[in-house]
Structure 1
Amino acid sequence: MLGDSIELLDADALQVVGLLWQPSLSGIRELFNGDRENKLGHEAYCDYFRRQWHILALYGDEQHAGSSSPQAITRLMAHIQNGQTREELMHPLQEAGVEEEACERSLNLAVRLLVMMRFGIAKHQVSPRRFLRWEQGTLQAFIHVLFEEVPKLSCEQVRLPKSFDAWSIANIAGIEIAFTDNIADHLLLVDDDTRLLIFHHASFLEYHRSKTSLFPGDLVNETLRTLALLFPQAEFSNQRRTRTPRRRWLQSLRVKHRETEHTVIDPRLALCGTPQGEDRQIERFRFWRDRLVILKQAYDDATPQTLGQWWHDRRNGVQWYTFWVAVLVLVITTFLSVVQAIEGALQVYKAYRPTE
């Protein structure tokens, strides 16, 4: 029974993907890194669909929401895309005699599947962080207010160093990398700045690059640029034949996340291109700039706590060489002291027990 239920949900998820990710007529649209559109996958999104369906549509106890079928939810999503207000969306459901709570869950589910943001409170969702409430007007207007563009900087430009990537943030600054399905939590430092949340659904973002999007301006492209910044394709991609330390680390991170969080990480996370010099300028980020600045400050202020972190920390070359020369001198001095102590002990032993 469980297997049949999962298969049905997978089929329903593909229906939603068919609505959202319709291929271009030519079939040759380029993705953000130059790949063809047919390289897109939807395994991570289907996994997201199943989880959202369980916590909102089935409500944890097989009680369906107001729109109880994927077909009804996709129609609701289409109405949202067409610019209907929240009031216009709720009215037909209420006229059909559906309870207000069930109407709310149907609308929240449709919005979550459409824009991958945490709208509405889910009764059975574990560890809720921050929920969004859309109470009036169109969804597009709400999202545009939520993601306000930061004014252009007039001060001196700041460039993020090449060493500033997810691997360095984790292995040098000691900040845990965690993945999120909520784009509103992207690049957010939580738990006293010890965990960094990263929105990993690059395939979902690729869809919104080409279609009429509910997101403002250049938000989608900029989000993909932040993924390229944190996971440069030249270092993290599986397309490389050699298994670099960063590639192995990302693979282990994917496995760990799947085992502990039971979620699928989008494989296109490390296929967003490799940023060039100008792509690392803080000024070029208008939506995620504040969070990048906070993250860089936390990264710069972090001091290594373990020998492994000291070894990987090459941010200050002089300091790195000074530290390891001091360690080498300490090891040599300790070794010579031990050798000298052993020789002294042997001499004492020989003095009291001379050989016959």
Structure 2
Amino acid sequence: MLQPTETEKTELVSAIFGQALAQHANTSKFKSYFRHYVSVVCPASSGDAVIELDTSLLRSHGDVIKYVQFLTKDPALTLDAFVAANASQKSIAVSVREKQHISRVIVEVWFAIDCMAQDYYSPTRQGPSLQQIKWEGNTSFLAFIESSFKAAASQDGHHWPLSKTQIKSLKGWKLVKRYGIKIRGTNNLLEHLDFDTNTMTLKVFHQVSFLRAHLTKTKEQPLDLSFEESIKQGSLPPRLLLETLLTFHDVLFPVASIREKKSRSLLKTLIAKHDFDGEAEWIEFVRATTEDITAFRYWGHRLAALHEIIKRPPPANAMVAWFERHTSERNALTVAIVGLFLSVLFGLLSFIVGLLQLILAWVAYKYPTAS
């Protein structure tokens, strides 16, 4: 499949984000989004060294629009039912590989979620935030989405309010300069704020235009619109989108403040060197909210985990890590007691030596030696 033309880009933006934003389809506003779109839908046309999977079910950009509209009409469709319904219209058989390819393309370009991401993580990296992220054949799309973000959201509706001090400590430039954390962009919303302690890398969902566009599309809807109702409108819950945008612009990169020169400088570097969305440098208010949205429901526990890491930074090198692994609390107490005993002993010896020197000096003064 070739890259979308200007006309096709306009049709895609109209279908994905709404007719009101179609006029911006070929501007810098959606430059980062379409760079990602091309890498997912037609990677071979961008010059990447990849093998593009050929499937008769996904031949054009119009097919992408048609399949997503079909899926959003009924979020309860399973992966198998979704593919079978579209395959039957063309009377063709679809392999498992094709089925996975189609689902990944549709979900990733429309909802910014890699529904096959589980295949790319080793068991050691599949922590709580990276589980349940594969859309299986007999699972409904709605169940997949809800279970995926259940791992990210705090349990039982519990919020994670952050104090102003905690928010200030999580500024991106502080993470980089003080704690040696690398910040890298991700196009997978499920990876937002995921921190890898092995590589000291924090992933940040950087597609700011994508978030703003979907928030504009649903700005008349309740902030706590359900997943089901949101998907039927071709979007994600407004609270999820708004929280993601706020963690970006209010926590990590508060560039709205003229005093935040370091935040702006870091963001410019990430845009220039690591392909962050160029629109992220600018602030655009697309949805007002009257409640304290900083009581983060979806990303609160990841922010809290990141705050714990900077309070107790991991070992600076392999030697320190070895000592930490092989030193129990009991051994540490023993070492402390021995250290205290040795300090007292050496202090006593120093006192005795000093006293002897004083006595010798007095004797030498009292009984001077004849010349």
Range class of TM-score, shorter chain? 0.5 to 0.7
1:10 shift after superposition = 6.4
Q: In structure 2, how many angstroms separate the alpha carbons of the residues matched to 1:138 and 1:51? A: 26
3-state DSSP of counterpart to 2:203: strand
Match of 2:209 in 1: 203
Change in 2 beyond 3 A, CA 1:155/1:76: closer
Corresponding residue for residue 60 of structure 1: 50
Distance 1:243 1:72, change over 3 A: same
Instruction: Show the counterpart of 1:233.
Output: 255
Unpaired runs of 5+ in structure 1? Answer: 28-35, 258-263, 306-356
Q: 1:215 aligns with which of 236, 251, 255?
A: 236
Cα deviation, 1:231-277, whole Å, max 9, x if unaligned, reads 11324xxxx6x9933322221222221xxxxxx42123244579xxx
Match of 1:15 in 2: 11
Given residue 43 of structure 1, which amino acid in structure 2 is its aligned partner?
K
Aligned length: 275
Q: Among residues 299, 303, 306, which one is paired with 1:292 in the alignment? A: 303
- Alignment RMSD (CA, Å): 4.1
Which region of structure 1 is more displaced relative to structure 2, 91-100 or 181-190?
91-100
* Runs of at least 4 residues off by over 6 Å: 36-40, 56-59, 154-157
Q: Deviations over 1:83-127 (max 9, x none)?
A: 25134321134432133232331222111111111123699x999
Determine which structure has the larger helix proportion and give its number: 2
Instruction: Return the alpha-carbon distance in structure 2 between the equivalents of residues 99 and 267 of structure 1.
Output: 39
Task: Tell me how far apart the structure 2 counterparts of residues 190 and 155 of structure 1 sit (CA, whole Å).
Answer: 21
Counterpart of 1:43 (choices 13, 31, 46) is 31
For residue 92 of structure 2, what is the aligned residue in structure 1? 97
- The 3 A distance-change label for structure 1 pair 232 and 218 is same
Distance 1:273 1:90 in 2: 38
Partner of 2:342: none
2:186 matches 1:180: yes
Corresponding residue for residue 247 of structure 1: 264
TM-score with structure 1 setting the length: 0.64
1:63 positional shift: 4.5
CA distance in 2, matches of 1:90, 1:83: 13
Deviation readout 1:117-175 (Å, 9 max, x if unpaired): 1123699x999x86622433542332122212424559997442424211111111111
Within 2, Cα distance between the matches of 1:221 and 1:93?
33
* Deviation at residue 57 of structure 1 after TM alignment: 10
CA contact (8 A) 1:180 1:199 kept: yes
Choose from 87, 103, 111 the match for 1:107: 103
TM-score by length of 2: 0.62
Cα distance change of structure 1 residues 135 and 49 upon mapping to structure 2, 3 Å threshold: same
Matches within 5 A, 1:131-170: 132-148=134-150, 149-150=153-154, 151=156, 158-159=163-164, 160-170=166-176
Contact 2:159 2:297 in 1 (8 A): no
| C-alpha spacing 1:220/1:63, structure 2 compared with 1 (3 Å) | closer
Choose 295-304 or 79-88, whichever is displaced more.
295-304
Partners of 1:55 and 1:154 lie apart in 2 by 40
Decide which structure has the larger Cα Rg and report it.
Answer: 2
Deviation at 1:60, TM superposition (A): 3.5
Query: What is the deviation of 1:286?
Result: 0.8
Alignment identity in percent? 20
